[in-house]
A and B are shown apart, each in its own frame.
Chain A
Amino acid sequence: MSIKTRRAGNVLVVEPEMNRLDVQSVPAFKNSIADLPLPGEHLIIDLHSIQFIDSTGLGALLSLLRRTKEVGGQLVLASAGDQALAMFRLVKMTRIFDIYATVDEALDALNG
């Protein structure tokens, strides 16, 4: 498993290249993002290739969110699929995560 990253100013766009973010793939995902984020850096997690997230995947995103806040940054999600959106709603994570329809919308929100 790998992640693709691209930088836009102070924002790092992270795109996990996997179909599922679940109990099986979360350890590899956590390894890939172990050094993120840098102090003051904002993160956008581009979920467009992820078709399925389970509760372990949610836990990994929450952990990354906490780390980002600790270094003074923000974490937002973009391009979440239907299943992922349903999951966020079911566990009331829409109150915690900012979710945007596209990466560009997320970039505008963070830069604006």
Chain B
Amino acid sequence: MSSINPRQEIPAPFRRAVLFSDREEASRLGPITERTPSWLLPLAGKALADRIAGSLSDLGVCELTLFLSSHTDVAASFFDDGARWGIRLHLVDVRDGEQMIERLKRFRPEEAILFGSLCCWPNLNREVLEAMTGPGNAVLALPSGEPAGWAAIYPETLSGLEAASPMEMLRELRRLQARSVPCPGPHLNCTTPADILGSTRVLLRKELEGQLIPGASGDSGIWMGAGCVLHPTVRLEPPVWIGENSRLDRGVRLGPNASVADNCVLGEFATLENCSVLSGTCIGDQVELKDVVVDRNYLAYTDASQAVAIPDPFLIAPNDQLRIVPYIAGLTGRLAALVLFLAVLPLLGMLFLLARMLGCRRPIKFTDCVRLPVATDPMLWKTFRRHRWSAGENRLWNRCCRNRILEILPAIQDIAFSRLHWVGLAPRDSAEVLALPEDWRALYLSSKAGLFQLSETDQRCLGDFSPDQQYSSEVFYAATRTLRMDALILLRSLFQVRRRETSAPRPAILSAFSGPEILDRLHRFLCEQFSAPDMHMAADRKNEIVTAIHEAVTNILRHAYGNESGCPVQLHVLRQSGRIAVDLYDRGRDFQTDQIPPPDFSVEADGGFGWYLIGSIADSVNFSCTENGWNHLSLTFICNPKGEIKNEY
């Protein structure tokens, strides 16, 4: 067991709880629950089982036993050992009520057990639990007198009791004079479509205390998960909940009392009221739905005994059924890449040999990039090896590496073997993905990585290589990508490769993270930039510029990030005629340049020259904070030395 509940020491009404799942109850949602049990269907973003386990943990329960007659493998995968709720969890496979009673008798006979249904949560709080403790068994009762599915049971009292199901056992206990404790307020239930819709409504109206609804929300009654894309004409009538990475197209009307789970698509002018749409569902254009639970191609109406299957994939369907065309396009692209890879294989071999002859020992390097799309949890990320040329010390080889056509050759095999797409977002390794802002990261992880990128073509066209521009392009692409758009980006990229001399000059970019390696990487990068054959500048001026950039990066590490590791720093160096433009970006604390004290040039000084050095060496210095939280320091250096040290050596 990996964790112990710290609440163990606090006296709690119940230390142990036993939850059951009734096969009869779980079957009422028809085919929807064949794969996923009803207690794992999302109620406003969280499964009822998740909510119950969390609430029990909050109420001091530290031992939880689940009696399941079906879906034990799904439950084992979902609950694991219960450590995520801070409880010890045991799964028991029981066939029938008789076996369940026998298992209940094995617990300590004198200790009361909280016994309840996985499909119902009656808003238990400490007062109710204390009312349930006391001498003898107690059954929580609905206003109608029927058991609510929860009870306090002493195992020693179960001798001679016979019941075919847990609910029958509760009724039997009630008949045997168990105390009846009234069930307060609204409750959550997931047994029928009406229960799911009713429980979702209760949650969205915040009628149940202490139940969390995931996603960003103000007081408006509208919750949205990360990566949602809404057309500007979408109309939301609160209360509404939308899960992660869902897309609502033009003219969609959603709500009131509607919940749309993760990875759903609502087609144009679809109207949904009092509905619960489960994960991965696509609802077609102009479809109107009311009082229904929708799961992929199943509709479960409140007044029907079973969910009905809809065979027409244009009305409602699993998301993946509508991806046939992209799938065929992807396959075609991979085949094209495979053919191209075989065709350029001799050229690749020749370049490889040339590189070895020119002294580059490892001409091709690998980067472990995150395979997309993937869930937001880093534990689930898988990586693939992206192939690229490796720059060396030989100038001729470095020029070959920078050639836009030769540059892409090693990556063609990544496309051919399904690791990369022709068009997508920039491939990034795990550290780079983790350094992205949360909303950018969510969109990035739901998209795909490609050799050619919209952000790259946009940056070349606009001449703006800032992280903000990259963010704009990547978000636009992730939210609106279509096959047509991919084709256009591919054409634009190839056109730019042919006509690269007409596009805006691209700066050399160093993306790094704060930590012990960053200054070594910075100096290697600057050495590479300033040793280029077209760099005509006096050695002293190069030293000065390196000093100023070093001081600027040091300022970021010490003052913006407070010496914290793993924070992103981007350095852009653009060489132009007679000048060098340097842009530095970070996401740390900003600072007021006018509040920096003047340097102390006496023997008593202990540093504090950094900003002074930058200002003395650079010909222009500008500091600003962007709307997206990046600090931007822009430095310009005229290549001829300036100031007092000109031609001194």
What is the interface of chain A, defined by CB distance below 8 A to chain B?
20, 22-24, 52, 54-56, 58-59, 62-63, 65-66, 69, 82-83, 85-87, 89-93, 95-96
Contact B617 A90 (CB under 8 A): yes
Q: Whose C-beta in chain B lies nearest to the C-beta of A66?
A: B603
In the bound complex, do residue B649 and residue A56 qualify as a contact, i.e. CB atoms below 8 Å apart? no
Binds A, one of B154-162, B351-359, B440-448, B608-616: B608-616
Extra contacts besides A23-B557, A89-B645, A96-B603 (16): CB < 8 Å: A23-B519, A55-B609, A55-B610, A58-B609, A63-B606, A65-B603, A66-B603, A69-B603, A82-B539, A82-B540, A85-B649, A86-B543, A86-B544, A87-B547, A87-B613, A91-B612
Q: Does B604 contact A (CB under 8 A)?
A: yes
B603 touches A54 (CB 8 A): no
A96 to B648, CA, bound (A): 19
Q: Which of B519, B606, B608, B644 contacts A24 (CB 8 A)?
A: B519
Q: Which residues of B contact A87 (CB under 8 A)?
A: 547, 613
Could you say which of A55, A86, A91, A96 contacts B540, with CB atoms under 8 Å apart?
A: A86
Known: A55-B608, A55-B609, A82-B539. A96 touches B602 (CB 8 A): yes
Cα-based distance from A91 to B547 in the complex (angstroms): 12
A-chain residues with CB within 8 Å of residue B360 when the two chains form the complex: none
Partner of A93, one of B516, B519, B544, B601: B601
A52-B546, A83-B543 in contact; A92/B519 too (CB < 8 A)? no
How many chain B residues have a CB neighbour from A under 8 Å?
Answer: 33
Distance between Cα atoms of A59 and B649 in the complex (Å): 24
The answer to whether B645 touches A90 (Cβ under 8 A) is yes
Interface residues of B in 531-572 (CB under 8 A from A): 539-540, 543-544, 546-547, 550-551, 554, 557-558
- B605 CB–A CB distance under 8 Å: yes
Chain B residues, Cβ within 8 Å of A59: 605-609
- A85 and B649 CA atoms in complex are apart in Å by 10
Known: A22-B550, A89-B645, A91-B599. A66 touches B613 (CB 8 A): no
Q: How far is the CB of B294 from chain A (nearest CB, A)?
A: 58
Question: What are the residues of chain A within 8 A of B613 when measuring CB–CB?
Answer: 55, 87, 90-91
Q: What would be 21 A-B contacts, judged by CB atoms less than 8 Å apart?
A: A20-B519, A20-B523, A23-B519, A52-B550, A54-B547, A55-B607, A56-B607, A59-B608, A62-B606, A62-B607, A83-B546, A86-B645, A87-B547, A89-B644, A89-B645, A90-B544, A90-B613, A91-B599, A92-B601, A95-B601, A96-B602
* B residues lining the A interface (CB < 8 Å): 516, 519, 523, 539-540, 543-544, 546-547, 550-551, 554, 557-558, 599, 601-610, 612-613, 616-617, 644-645, 648-649
> Bound state CA distance, A63 and B605, in angstroms?
8
Task: Give the chain B neighbours of A52 by CB distance below 8 A.
Answer: 523, 546-547, 550
> Which chain A residues lie closer than 8 Å to B551 at the CB level?
54-55
In the complex, A20 Cα to B527 Cα: how many Å?
14
- Chain A residues within 8 Å of B516, by CB: 24
- The residue in chain B whose Cβ has the minimal distance to the Cβ of A54 is B550
Let me know if A62 and B610 touch, CB within 8 A: no
State how many angstroms separate the Cβ of B248 from the closest Cβ of chain A: 49
Min CB distance, A28 to chain B, in Å?
Answer: 12
Determine the residue in chain B with the shortest Cβ distance to A65.
B603
The chain A residue sitting closest to B614, CB to CB, is A55
Q: Which residue of A lies closest to B543 (CB)?
A: A83
Chain B residues positioned under 8 Å from A58 (CB to CB): 607, 609
Are A91 and B523 in contact (CB-based, < 8 A)?
A: no
**Minimum-distance CB pairs A-B, first 4:** A59-B607, A55-B609, A83-B543, A92-B601
- B554 pairs with A22, CB closer than 8 A: yes
- The complex places the Cα of A20 from the Cα of B470 at a distance, in Å, of 34
Contacts of B609 in A (CB 8 A): 55, 58-59, 90-91
Q: How far is the CA of A58 from the CA of B617 in the complex (A)?
A: 17
CA–CA, A62 and B557, complex, Å: 22
A68 CB to nearest chain B CB (Å):
11
With A82-B540, A82-B649 given, is the CB distance from A54 to B601 under 8 Å? no
Chain B residue with the shortest CB-CB distance to A59:
B607
Give CA–CA (A86, B612) in the complex, Å: 14
Given A55-B608, A62-B603, A23 and B554 touching (CB < 8 A)? Answer: yes
CA distance A87 to B543 in the complex (A): 9
Name the B residues within 8 Å of A20 (CB-CB).
519, 523
Minimum C-beta distance from B619 to chain A (A): 15
Please, how many angstroms separate the alpha-carbon atoms of A73 and B319 in the complex? Answer: 79
CA distance A24 to B519 in the complex (A): 8
- Given A20-B519, A23-B519, A54 and B554 contact (CB-CB distance below 8 Å): yes
When chains A and B are docked, how far (Å) is the Cα of A58 from the Cα of B606?
Answer: 8
- Give the residue of B519, B539, B603, B645 whose beta carbon is less than 8 angstroms from that of A22: B519
A55 to B547, alpha carbons, bound, how many Å? 9
Q: Which residue of A lies closest to B604 (CB)?
A: A66
The interface residues of chain A lying within 8 Å CB-to-CB of B558 are 23
CB distance from A73 to the nearest CB of B (A): 14
User: What residues of chain B lie closer than 8 Å to A85, measured between beta carbons?
Assistant: 649
Assembled-state Cα–Cα distance A54/B550 (Å): 8
